[in-house]
């Protein structure tokens, strides 16, 4: 259930970003056609985008430690699964080492 929700959120995010790219392309064409709109954009929209980006980065920097602590404190089953998967992956890579392949071929 949780994976389905995350997939749905990811799909909405992709659809939203594609829509933003479409709108951005239309706005860019409009700005190329009408230079006074370009001046208005530089004076109004660009500062708003910069402020939004700074606020978003600040929120991400402040929220990251909290989210990491909550994630690591929460369910320790995930840590065990991650440790197991990493150990299996490490052993698999070691088995693919050339000296092991050569030894197994003998």
Q: Is the pLDDT of residue 75 over 70?
A: no
The residue segments making up the domain with residue 89 are: 75-106
Instruction: Specify if 24 maps to a domain.
Output: no
Instruction: Specify if 16 maps to a domain.
Output: no
Instruction: Specify if 37 maps to a domain.
Output: no
Instruction: Specify if 82 maps to a domain.
Output: yes
Distance, in Å, from the CA atom of 95 to the CA atom of 106, rounded to the nearest integer, reads: 15
- Phi (first) and psi of residue 8, to 5 degrees: -65, -40
Mean pLDDT, rounded, for 39-67: 89
Instruction: Specify if 25 maps to a domain.
Output: no
Q: What is the pLDDT of residue 50?
A: 93
Instruction: Specify if 42 maps to a domain.
Output: no
Number of structural domains the chain divides into = 1
Q: Is the pLDDT of residue 104 over 80?
A: no
Instruction: Specify if 50 maps to a domain.
Output: no
């Amino acid at each position: 259930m949780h994976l389905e929700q995350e997939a749905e959120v990811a799909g909405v995010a992709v659809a939203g970003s594609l829509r933003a790219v479409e709108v951005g392309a239309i706005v860019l064409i409009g700005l190329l056609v009408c230079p006074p709109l370009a001046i208005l954009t530089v004076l109004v929209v660009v500062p708003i985008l910069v402020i939004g980006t700074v606020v978003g980065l600040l929120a991400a920097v402040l929220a990251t430690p909290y989210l990491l602590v909550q994630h690591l404190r929460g369910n320790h089953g995930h840590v065990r699964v991650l440790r197991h998967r990493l150990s299996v992956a490490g052993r698999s890579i070691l088995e693919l080492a050339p000296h092991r392949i050569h030894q197994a071929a003998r």
